[in-house]
Amino acid sequence: MADDNSIIYGLEFQARALAPQLAETEAVRFFVGTQSLKFTQNQIHLVELDEEHSYVNTRVFPHSTGEIWSVSPSPVSADVISTCYNTITEDNSCVMKSALWRLPPAETEDQTDVDQEGGSGSHHSSMNPLECLCELDTMQHGKEVKVSVFHPTDGSRVMSVVDNHFLLFDVGESSPKLISKGTLEGKGQPRFMTGKWNSHHKCTQFVTASECSIRSWDLREDNKQAWCIDGAHSQLVRDFDINPNKQYYIASGGDDGSTKFWDVRNPSEPVISISDHSHWVWAVRYNHFHDQLVLTSSSDARLVLTSVASISSEPDGHLGAPEDEVDSKNGRLADGILATYDQHEDSVYSVEWSVADPWTFASLSYDGRLVINKVPKAVKYKILL
Protein backbone atom coordinates (compact mmCIF):
# COMPACT_ATOMS: atom_id res chain seq x y z
CA MET A 1 0.00 0.00 0.00
CA ALA A 2 1.66 3.22 -1.18
CA ASP A 3 1.35 6.24 1.08
CA ASP A 4 -0.47 8.25 -1.58
CA ASN A 5 -3.05 5.51 -2.24
CA SER A 6 -6.12 5.38 -0.03
CA ILE A 7 -8.11 2.21 0.46
CA ILE A 8 -11.86 2.86 0.42
CA TYR A 9 -14.42 0.40 1.73
CA GLY A 10 -18.09 1.16 1.22
CA LEU A 11 -20.75 -0.10 3.61
CA GLU A 12 -24.33 -0.72 2.60
CA PHE A 13 -25.73 1.33 5.48
CA GLN A 14 -24.96 4.61 7.20
CA ALA A 15 -22.39 4.45 9.99
CA ARG A 16 -20.62 6.49 12.64
CA ALA A 17 -19.05 3.91 15.01
CA LEU A 18 -15.37 3.05 14.41
CA ALA A 19 -12.72 1.45 16.65
CA PRO A 20 -9.38 -0.36 16.19
CA GLN A 21 -9.10 -3.98 17.31
CA LEU A 22 -7.00 -3.27 20.41
CA ALA A 23 -5.99 -6.83 21.28
CA GLU A 24 -4.63 -7.48 17.76
CA THR A 25 -1.12 -6.06 17.34
CA GLU A 26 -0.02 -7.93 14.21
CA ALA A 27 -2.75 -7.06 11.70
CA VAL A 28 -4.32 -3.67 10.89
CA ARG A 29 -7.98 -4.18 11.80
CA PHE A 30 -10.91 -1.90 12.55
CA PHE A 31 -14.46 -2.47 13.80
CA VAL A 32 -17.29 -0.56 12.13
CA GLY A 33 -20.91 -0.42 13.32
CA THR A 34 -23.85 0.55 11.09
CA GLN A 35 -26.89 2.75 11.69
CA SER A 36 -29.71 1.44 9.53
CA LEU A 37 -33.17 2.69 10.55
CA LYS A 38 -34.34 -0.87 10.01
CA PHE A 39 -32.87 -2.06 13.29
CA THR A 40 -32.67 -5.74 12.34
CA GLN A 41 -30.38 -4.96 9.36
CA ASN A 42 -27.52 -3.48 11.36
CA GLN A 43 -24.07 -5.05 11.26
CA ILE A 44 -20.62 -5.13 12.78
CA HIS A 45 -17.85 -5.14 10.16
CA LEU A 46 -14.33 -6.29 11.04
CA VAL A 47 -12.13 -4.78 8.34
CA GLU A 48 -8.53 -5.96 7.87
CA LEU A 49 -6.02 -4.19 5.63
CA ASP A 50 -3.98 -6.35 3.25
CA GLU A 51 -1.06 -4.00 2.57
CA GLU A 52 0.69 -6.34 0.15
CA HIS A 53 -2.26 -6.41 -2.25
CA SER A 54 -3.74 -3.00 -1.33
CA TYR A 55 -7.23 -4.13 -0.45
CA VAL A 56 -9.26 -5.04 2.61
CA ASN A 57 -10.72 -8.32 3.84
CA THR A 58 -13.90 -8.08 5.86
CA ARG A 59 -16.00 -10.20 8.17
CA VAL A 60 -19.59 -9.05 8.66
CA PHE A 61 -21.76 -9.98 11.66
CA PRO A 62 -25.46 -9.18 12.07
CA HIS A 63 -26.27 -6.82 14.96
CA SER A 64 -30.04 -7.17 14.77
CA THR A 65 -30.71 -5.55 18.16
CA GLY A 66 -30.47 -2.00 16.79
CA GLU A 67 -28.50 0.86 15.24
CA ILE A 68 -24.98 1.18 16.64
CA TRP A 69 -23.80 4.48 18.10
CA SER A 70 -20.46 3.37 19.50
CA VAL A 71 -18.14 0.34 19.49
CA SER A 72 -15.47 -0.35 22.10
CA PRO A 73 -13.08 -3.32 21.80
CA SER A 74 -11.67 -5.33 24.66
CA PRO A 75 -7.96 -4.63 25.30
CA VAL A 76 -7.25 -8.29 26.10
CA SER A 77 -9.68 -10.36 23.99
CA ALA A 78 -9.62 -9.77 20.25
CA ASP A 79 -13.06 -11.32 19.81
CA VAL A 80 -14.91 -9.28 22.47
CA ILE A 81 -16.51 -5.86 21.94
CA SER A 82 -19.10 -3.64 23.56
CA THR A 83 -21.74 -1.70 21.65
CA CYS A 84 -24.15 1.08 22.54
CA TYR A 85 -27.23 0.87 20.38
CA ASN A 86 -30.71 2.28 19.84
CA THR A 87 -33.47 -0.32 19.90
CA ILE A 88 -37.23 -0.79 20.18
CA THR A 89 -38.79 -2.29 23.31
CA GLU A 90 -41.93 -4.42 23.53
CA ASP A 91 -44.10 -1.34 24.09
CA ASN A 92 -42.66 0.22 20.87
CA SER A 93 -40.61 2.84 22.71
CA CYS A 94 -37.11 3.70 21.49
CA VAL A 95 -34.34 3.23 24.08
CA MET A 96 -30.54 3.15 24.24
CA LYS A 97 -28.89 0.01 25.54
CA SER A 98 -25.39 -1.41 25.88
CA ALA A 99 -24.14 -4.98 25.67
CA LEU A 100 -20.97 -7.07 25.38
CA TRP A 101 -20.55 -9.44 22.43
CA ARG A 102 -18.22 -12.20 21.31
CA LEU A 103 -17.43 -12.70 17.63
CA PRO A 104 -17.91 -16.22 16.21
CA PRO A 105 -14.73 -18.08 15.21
CA ALA A 106 -13.36 -17.26 11.76
CA GLU A 107 -13.64 -20.83 10.50
CA THR A 108 -17.43 -20.68 10.72
CA GLU A 109 -17.58 -18.00 8.04
CA ASP A 110 -18.72 -18.35 4.42
CA GLN A 111 -16.47 -16.37 2.08
CA THR A 112 -17.48 -14.56 -1.10
CA ASP A 113 -15.17 -12.53 -3.31
CA VAL A 114 -16.58 -9.07 -3.97
CA ASP A 115 -15.43 -5.85 -5.60
CA GLN A 116 -15.02 -2.93 -3.25
CA GLU A 117 -14.64 0.75 -3.96
CA GLY A 118 -10.91 1.34 -4.29
CA GLY A 119 -9.91 -2.32 -4.54
CA SER A 120 -11.02 -5.95 -4.41
CA GLY A 121 -10.91 -8.23 -1.46
CA SER A 122 -12.78 -10.99 0.33
CA HIS A 123 -16.06 -10.50 2.12
CA HIS A 124 -17.19 -12.93 4.82
CA SER A 125 -20.83 -13.06 5.89
CA SER A 126 -21.24 -14.67 9.29
CA MET A 127 -23.37 -17.80 9.44
CA ASN A 128 -23.38 -17.52 13.24
CA PRO A 129 -24.58 -14.39 15.03
CA LEU A 130 -22.65 -12.44 17.62
CA GLU A 131 -22.83 -14.10 21.01
CA CYS A 132 -24.32 -11.75 23.60
CA LEU A 133 -22.14 -12.12 26.67
CA CYS A 134 -24.22 -9.78 28.80
CA GLU A 135 -26.40 -6.70 28.70
CA LEU A 136 -25.41 -3.85 30.97
CA ASP A 137 -28.18 -2.63 33.27
CA THR A 138 -28.10 1.07 32.47
CA MET A 139 -31.80 1.91 31.99
CA GLN A 140 -32.46 2.63 35.68
CA HIS A 141 -29.72 5.30 35.58
CA GLY A 142 -30.75 7.15 32.42
CA LYS A 143 -31.91 6.94 28.82
CA GLU A 144 -28.88 7.97 26.76
CA VAL A 145 -25.94 5.55 26.84
CA LYS A 146 -23.04 7.30 25.10
CA VAL A 147 -20.20 4.78 25.44
CA SER A 148 -19.27 1.61 27.32
CA VAL A 149 -15.48 1.46 27.38
CA PHE A 150 -13.21 -1.26 28.71
CA HIS A 151 -10.53 -0.53 31.29
CA PRO A 152 -7.23 -0.02 29.37
CA THR A 153 -5.66 -3.22 30.76
CA ASP A 154 -8.46 -5.13 32.50
CA GLY A 155 -11.06 -6.79 30.30
CA SER A 156 -13.34 -7.43 33.28
CA ARG A 157 -13.98 -3.72 33.94
CA VAL A 158 -16.31 -1.61 31.76
CA MET A 159 -17.32 2.01 32.31
CA SER A 160 -20.66 3.14 30.87
CA VAL A 161 -21.52 6.81 30.38
CA VAL A 162 -25.28 7.32 30.83
CA ASP A 163 -26.93 10.77 30.96
CA ASN A 164 -25.07 12.49 33.85
CA HIS A 165 -23.65 9.28 35.33
CA PHE A 166 -20.63 7.07 34.75
CA LEU A 167 -21.09 3.48 35.90
CA LEU A 168 -18.28 1.01 36.53
CA PHE A 169 -19.29 -2.61 35.93
CA ASP A 170 -17.48 -5.82 36.78
CA VAL A 171 -18.21 -8.07 33.79
CA GLY A 172 -15.90 -10.88 34.83
CA GLU A 173 -18.67 -12.86 36.50
CA SER A 174 -21.69 -14.59 34.98
CA SER A 175 -23.69 -11.36 35.18
CA PRO A 176 -22.44 -7.73 35.27
CA LYS A 177 -22.15 -6.17 38.70
CA LEU A 178 -22.25 -2.42 39.30
CA ILE A 179 -19.32 -1.60 41.59
CA SER A 180 -19.09 2.19 41.35
CA LYS A 181 -21.15 5.18 40.25
CA GLY A 182 -20.23 8.80 39.65
CA THR A 183 -22.66 11.68 39.05
CA LEU A 184 -22.36 15.15 37.54
CA GLU A 185 -24.46 17.54 39.58
CA GLY A 186 -25.75 20.78 38.12
CA LYS A 187 -28.71 22.82 36.98
CA GLY A 188 -30.66 22.04 33.86
CA GLN A 189 -30.07 18.27 33.85
CA PRO A 190 -26.47 18.23 32.53
CA ARG A 191 -25.48 15.25 30.40
CA PHE A 192 -22.17 13.76 29.37
CA MET A 193 -21.20 13.66 25.69
CA THR A 194 -18.52 10.99 26.07
CA GLY A 195 -16.00 9.52 28.49
CA LYS A 196 -12.57 7.86 28.42
CA TRP A 197 -10.20 6.15 30.80
CA ASN A 198 -7.00 8.00 31.60
CA SER A 199 -4.22 5.45 31.07
CA HIS A 200 -1.90 7.48 33.32
CA HIS A 201 -2.02 7.48 37.14
CA LYS A 202 -2.42 3.68 37.07
CA CYS A 203 -5.80 4.06 35.35
CA THR A 204 -7.41 5.52 38.46
CA GLN A 205 -9.03 8.46 36.67
CA PHE A 206 -11.96 8.64 34.25
CA VAL A 207 -12.41 11.73 32.07
CA THR A 208 -15.73 13.04 30.75
CA ALA A 209 -17.00 15.80 28.46
CA SER A 210 -20.23 17.63 29.21
CA GLU A 211 -21.55 20.70 27.43
CA CYS A 212 -18.52 23.03 27.13
CA SER A 213 -16.36 21.47 29.84
CA ILE A 214 -14.03 18.51 30.44
CA ARG A 215 -13.67 16.87 33.84
CA SER A 216 -11.55 14.15 35.38
CA TRP A 217 -12.84 11.98 38.19
CA ASP A 218 -10.65 10.16 40.72
CA LEU A 219 -11.95 6.63 41.15
CA ARG A 220 -9.89 6.17 44.33
CA GLU A 221 -11.61 9.09 46.07
CA ASP A 222 -15.27 8.10 45.69
CA ASN A 223 -15.36 9.55 42.17
CA LYS A 224 -14.49 13.05 43.28
CA GLN A 225 -13.53 15.60 40.66
CA ALA A 226 -9.75 15.67 40.14
CA TRP A 227 -9.58 18.60 37.71
CA CYS A 228 -11.82 20.55 35.36
CA ILE A 229 -11.37 22.58 32.18
CA ASP A 230 -14.41 24.81 32.43
CA GLY A 231 -15.43 26.41 29.15
CA ALA A 232 -12.95 24.42 27.10
CA HIS A 233 -14.88 25.43 23.98
CA SER A 234 -17.36 28.22 23.34
CA GLN A 235 -19.81 25.58 22.11
CA LEU A 236 -20.38 21.89 22.82
CA VAL A 237 -17.32 19.66 23.38
CA ARG A 238 -17.74 16.73 20.97
CA ASP A 239 -14.60 14.75 21.72
CA PHE A 240 -11.25 14.75 23.48
CA ASP A 241 -8.19 12.54 23.69
CA ILE A 242 -5.48 12.07 26.29
CA ASN A 243 -1.84 12.24 25.24
CA PRO A 244 -0.55 8.67 25.66
CA ASN A 245 3.01 9.81 26.42
CA LYS A 246 2.57 13.05 28.43
CA GLN A 247 0.24 12.55 31.35
CA TYR A 248 -0.99 16.12 31.80
CA TYR A 249 -1.77 16.93 28.17
CA ILE A 250 -5.08 16.44 26.40
CA ALA A 251 -6.64 17.56 23.10
CA SER A 252 -10.27 18.54 22.56
CA GLY A 253 -12.58 19.35 19.66
CA GLY A 254 -15.95 21.06 19.64
CA ASP A 255 -18.80 22.69 17.80
CA ASP A 256 -16.82 25.93 17.51
CA GLY A 257 -14.73 24.19 14.82
CA SER A 258 -11.53 24.42 16.85
CA THR A 259 -9.07 21.90 18.25
CA LYS A 260 -7.40 22.83 21.51
CA PHE A 261 -4.48 21.36 23.44
CA TRP A 262 -4.41 21.66 27.22
CA ASP A 263 -2.07 21.21 30.14
CA VAL A 264 -4.52 20.23 32.87
CA ARG A 265 -2.20 21.68 35.53
CA ASN A 266 -3.05 25.13 34.09
CA PRO A 267 -6.54 24.82 32.59
CA SER A 268 -7.24 28.55 32.35
CA GLU A 269 -6.17 28.69 28.70
CA PRO A 270 -5.10 26.22 26.01
CA VAL A 271 -1.43 25.68 25.20
CA ILE A 272 -2.31 25.60 21.49
CA SER A 273 -5.59 26.45 19.76
CA ILE A 274 -6.13 25.82 16.04
CA SER A 275 -9.10 26.23 13.71
CA ASP A 276 -8.50 23.91 10.77
CA HIS A 277 -12.14 22.97 10.23
CA SER A 278 -15.11 25.01 9.03
CA HIS A 279 -17.70 23.04 11.03
CA TRP A 280 -18.01 20.86 14.13
CA VAL A 281 -15.01 18.76 15.13
CA TRP A 282 -16.37 15.29 15.85
CA ALA A 283 -13.20 13.38 16.67
CA VAL A 284 -9.61 14.09 17.77
CA ARG A 285 -6.95 11.38 18.18
CA TYR A 286 -3.32 11.37 19.29
CA ASN A 287 -1.01 8.90 17.59
CA HIS A 288 -0.34 6.11 20.11
CA PHE A 289 3.44 6.18 19.56
CA HIS A 290 4.31 9.59 18.10
CA ASP A 291 2.15 12.05 19.99
CA GLN A 292 3.20 14.98 17.81
CA LEU A 293 0.79 13.55 15.22
CA VAL A 294 -2.89 14.35 15.80
CA LEU A 295 -5.89 13.53 13.60
CA THR A 296 -9.14 15.50 13.59
CA SER A 297 -12.35 14.86 11.67
CA SER A 298 -15.31 17.12 11.13
CA SER A 299 -18.73 17.51 9.61
CA ASP A 300 -17.05 19.66 6.96
CA ALA A 301 -16.27 16.23 5.38
CA ARG A 302 -12.53 16.67 5.91
CA LEU A 303 -9.84 14.87 7.84
CA VAL A 304 -6.76 16.82 8.98
CA LEU A 305 -3.36 15.48 10.11
CA THR A 306 -1.68 18.06 12.34
CA SER A 307 1.71 18.35 14.01
CA VAL A 308 2.00 19.62 17.58
CA ALA A 309 5.67 18.72 17.94
CA SER A 310 6.41 21.68 20.20
CA ILE A 311 4.35 20.17 23.05
CA SER A 312 4.96 16.49 22.33
CA SER A 313 7.15 13.94 24.09
CA GLU A 314 9.47 14.07 21.05
CA PRO A 315 10.04 17.84 20.63
CA ASP A 316 13.30 17.32 18.71
CA GLY A 317 11.80 15.13 16.03
CA HIS A 318 12.47 11.77 17.63
CA LEU A 319 12.61 10.53 21.19
CA GLY A 320 15.88 10.96 23.04
CA ALA A 321 17.77 12.87 20.33
CA PRO A 322 20.51 15.12 21.73
CA GLU A 323 19.90 18.77 20.82
CA ASP A 324 23.28 19.15 19.10
CA GLU A 325 22.47 16.21 16.80
CA VAL A 326 19.16 17.57 15.58
CA ASP A 327 19.03 19.06 12.11
CA SER A 328 16.60 21.94 12.59
CA LYS A 329 15.67 21.91 8.91
CA ASN A 330 15.24 18.18 8.35
CA GLY A 331 15.12 16.55 11.77
CA ARG A 332 12.35 18.49 13.48
CA LEU A 333 8.68 18.53 12.63
CA ALA A 334 7.20 22.01 12.67
CA ASP A 335 3.77 22.69 14.16
CA GLY A 336 0.88 23.00 11.73
CA ILE A 337 -1.13 21.08 9.13
CA LEU A 338 0.74 18.14 7.62
CA ALA A 339 -1.97 16.80 5.32
CA THR A 340 -5.66 17.28 4.53
CA TYR A 341 -7.81 14.41 3.29
CA ASP A 342 -11.01 15.05 1.34
CA GLN A 343 -12.07 11.57 0.19
CA HIS A 344 -15.31 11.82 2.16
CA GLU A 345 -18.54 13.40 0.93
CA ASP A 346 -20.41 13.41 4.25
CA SER A 347 -19.71 14.24 7.89
CA VAL A 348 -16.66 12.36 9.17
CA TYR A 349 -17.80 11.20 12.58
CA SER A 350 -14.85 8.98 13.51
CA VAL A 351 -11.12 8.64 13.00
CA GLU A 352 -8.80 6.08 14.61
CA TRP A 353 -5.13 5.10 14.50
CA SER A 354 -4.20 1.47 13.95
CA VAL A 355 -2.80 -0.38 16.96
CA ALA A 356 -0.59 -2.61 14.79
CA ASP A 357 0.95 0.10 12.57
CA PRO A 358 1.54 3.63 13.96
CA TRP A 359 1.53 5.11 10.44
CA THR A 360 -1.91 3.79 9.40
CA PHE A 361 -5.29 5.29 10.27
CA ALA A 362 -8.93 4.97 9.27
CA SER A 363 -11.79 7.45 9.02
CA LEU A 364 -15.53 6.88 8.72
CA SER A 365 -18.21 9.17 7.30
CA TYR A 366 -21.94 8.95 7.83
CA ASP A 367 -22.61 7.72 4.29
CA GLY A 368 -20.83 4.47 5.19
CA ARG A 369 -17.48 5.20 3.57
CA LEU A 370 -14.45 3.87 5.44
CA VAL A 371 -11.12 5.24 4.20
CA ILE A 372 -7.74 3.83 5.27
CA ASN A 373 -4.71 6.11 4.83
CA LYS A 374 -1.06 6.32 5.79
CA VAL A 375 1.03 9.14 7.18
CA PRO A 376 2.98 10.71 4.28
CA LYS A 377 6.51 9.33 3.89
CA ALA A 378 8.07 12.79 4.21
CA VAL A 379 6.47 13.21 7.64
CA LYS A 380 7.44 9.70 8.71
CA TYR A 381 11.09 10.26 7.78
CA LYS A 382 11.22 13.58 9.65
CA ILE A 383 10.16 11.75 12.78
CA LEU A 384 12.34 8.66 12.41
CA LEU A 385 15.55 10.02 10.91
This prediction's pTM? 0.91
Question: Same CATH fold, 220-314+331-384 and 8-105+127-183?
Answer: yes
| pLDDT tens for the chain, residues 1 to 385 | 555 679 999 999 999 999 999 999 999 999 999 999 888 899 999 999 998 888 899 999 999 999 999 999 999 999 999 999 998 877 778 889 999 999 998 764 445 444 445 445 666 666 678 999 999 999 999 989 999 999 999 999 999 999 999 999 999 987 999 999 999 998 878 999 999 999 999 999 999 999 999 999 999 999 999 999 999 999 999 999 999 999 999 999 999 999 999 999 999 999 999 999 999 999 999 999 999 999 999 999 999 999 999 999 986 644 444 433 334 444 578 999 999 999 999 999 999 999 999 999 999 999 999 999 999 999 999 998 8
**Would you list the domain boundaries of the chain?**
8-105+127-183, 220-314+331-384
Strand partners, 181: 167
Query: CA geometry: angle at 348 spanning 343 and 349, to 5°?
Result: 155
Helix locations, the chain, DSSP H: 377-384
pLDDT value of position 364: 98
Strand partners, 20: 30
Cα–Cα distance for residue pair 65/82, rounded to 1 Å: 13
Burial class (CB in 10 A: 0-12, 13-18, 19+), 19: buried
pLDDT value of position 93: 81
pLDDT value of position 109: 47
Q: Are 43 and 35 in contact, with CB atoms under 8 Å apart?
A: no
Strand partners, 373: 361
Burial class (CB in 10 A: 0-12, 13-18, 19+), 1: buried
pLDDT value of position 122: 66
pLDDT value of position 118: 47
- Fill in the amino acid letter for 287: N
3-state helix, strand, coil in the chain (%, to 5): 10, 50, 45
pLDDT value of position 98: 97
Architecture of 220-314+331-384 per CATH? 7 Propeller (2.130)
Cα–Cα distance for residue pair 282/97, rounded to 1 Å: 22
Q: Are 374 and 360 in contact, with CB atoms under 8 Å apart?
A: yes
Cα–Cα distance for residue pair 43/35, rounded to 1 Å: 8
Cα–Cα distance for residue pair 216/150, rounded to 1 Å: 17
CA 43 to each of CA 46, 204, 242: distance values in angstroms, whole numbers, following the listed order: 10, 34, 29
Burial class (CB in 10 A: 0-12, 13-18, 19+), 2: exposed
pLDDT value of position 331: 58
Q: What phi, psi does 382 have (nearest 5°)?
A: -65, -30
**3-class DSSP state of 167:** strand
pLDDT value of position 130: 94
Q: Tell me the CATH class for 8-105+127-183.
A: mainly beta
DSSP state of 333: P
